[in-house]
């Protein structure tokens, strides 16, 4: 049995952290669903930047949209929505079979809005309405300014993938925003069954401390942070507050492991998949990691619900001078800046492609 199937049988969802028009046109995504137990998909500005930059598959669509007067951000979101809605259709059967628990795709609002609550909320509502897909998550960063937008989006009935979370505390703040939105729906007599996931980034922790800690601690920080977050997740699901919401018909906000591609060339290419096996969670993996997992991966021991040895490991990092709270805040800020940089690159690619296609058409 492939490790991908074993993880699925364990109760962990495998989502692909990639989307390109070539993946859709070639049938590769459909094959991953059928052969590798992939049950969802996420996207971000970096993914679309690489997809459009490195392929001619978007050229015809760009020409068509240019003829209609589209450019820049407006043109991009039309391209992205076309890809995302096609992917959503492929995952539609999974979404239906799991009664909405799985089979989701994700599209991110402009990262330029990460610190603008009102504009983030408006963009989330607009994208969700335009897509018209029941199994679409809109991604909103779990920044301080993003949290009110998450609450309002959930209250509005918009399914949300909370992104850029780096610690238990950031996760719990996002979960609190989700629950506030759900509780307001209950108080207003609305159905509380609005889906959400909370995406905790893992590998960036280890990249941030590479070479700054003793060798035995190499590639251990991200996993320890994940274990601590899982404990917080399980405690929240067992809490009276959650039980009241669940009794009213709410569904849990699932915890998702993000940034699980191995960045250390000396480490296993399935390090964060093997280490983070846990029922009722999601692991969203890059395409290379998915292929490696299916080819030679194996799953490890199931993560302990009580966090296992995470506090001892984190104490060792503290002893080595790593302040995880400060680092979590820095990683979130850097992550937001990185997405903005990718977004600006993406807009540059859209502009350059549009100009090149216009020149070619005129010649």
User: What positions carry a catalytic annotation?
Assistant: 139
Label the pairing between strands 160-165 and 196-201.
parallel
Handedness of CA 184, 124, 243, 250 (dihedral sign): positive
End-to-end Cα, the chain, rounded Å: 55
Neighbours of 299 (CB within 10 A): 19
CB 331 within 8 A of CB 166: yes
Q: Which residues contact 151 (CB under 8 A, 6 or more apart)?
A: 177, 178, 180, 181, 184
Q: H or E element: which one contains 180?
A: helix 168-187
Q: How far is CA 217 from the centre of its chain?
A: 26
Say how far apart CA 238 and CA 286 lie, in whole Å.
32
Q: Considering only CA atoms, which of 156, 217, 219, 221 is closest in space to residue 191? A: 156
Both structure tokens of 168: 């238990």
């Amino acid at each position: 049995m492939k490790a991908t199937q074993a993880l699925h049988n364990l109760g962990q969802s495998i989502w692909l952290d990639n989307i390109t028009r070539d993946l859709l046109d070639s049938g590769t995504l459909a094959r991953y669903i059928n052969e590798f137990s992939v049950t969802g998909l996420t996207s971000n500005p970096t993914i679309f930047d690489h997809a459009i930059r490195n392929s001619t598959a978007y050229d015809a669509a760009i020409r068509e949209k240019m003829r209609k007067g589209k450019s820049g951000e407006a043109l991009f979101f039309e391209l992205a929505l076309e890809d995302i809605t096609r992917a959503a259709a492929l995952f539609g059967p999974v979404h239906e079979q799991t009664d909405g628990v799985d089979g989701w795709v994700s599209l991110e609002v402009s990262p330029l809005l990460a610190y603008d609550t009102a504009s983030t909320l408006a963009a989330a509502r607009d994208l969700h309405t335009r897509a018209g897909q029941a199994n679409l998550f809109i991604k909103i960063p779990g920044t301080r300014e993003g949290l009110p937008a998450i609450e309002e989006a959930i209250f509005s009935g918009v399914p949300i993938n909370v992104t850029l979370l780096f610690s238990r505390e950031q996760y719990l703040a996002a979960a609190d925003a989700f629950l506030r939105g759900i509780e307001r729906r209950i108080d207003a007599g609305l159905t509380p069954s609005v889906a959400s996931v909370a995406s905790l980034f893992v590998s960036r922790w280890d990249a941030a401390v590479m070479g700054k800690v003793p060798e035995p601690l190499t590639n251990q920080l991200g996993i320890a942070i994940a274990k601590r977050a899982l404990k917080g997740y399980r405690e929240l699901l067992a809490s009276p507050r959650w039980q009241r919401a669940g009794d009213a018909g709410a569904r849990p906000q699932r915890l998702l492991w993000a940034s699980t591609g191995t960045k250390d060339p000396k480490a296993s290419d399935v390090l964060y998949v093997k280490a983070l096996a846990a029922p009722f969670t999601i692991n969203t993996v890059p395409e290379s990691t998915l292929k490696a997992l299916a080819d030679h991966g194996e799953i490890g021991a199931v993560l302990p619900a009580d966090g296992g040895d995470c506090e001892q490991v984190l104490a060792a990092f503290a002893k080595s001078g790593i302040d995880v709270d400060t680092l979590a805040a820095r990683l979130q800020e850097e992550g937001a800046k990185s997405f903005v940089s990718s977004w600006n690159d993406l807009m540059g690619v859209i502009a350059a492609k549009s100009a090149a296609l216009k020149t070619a058409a005129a010649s």
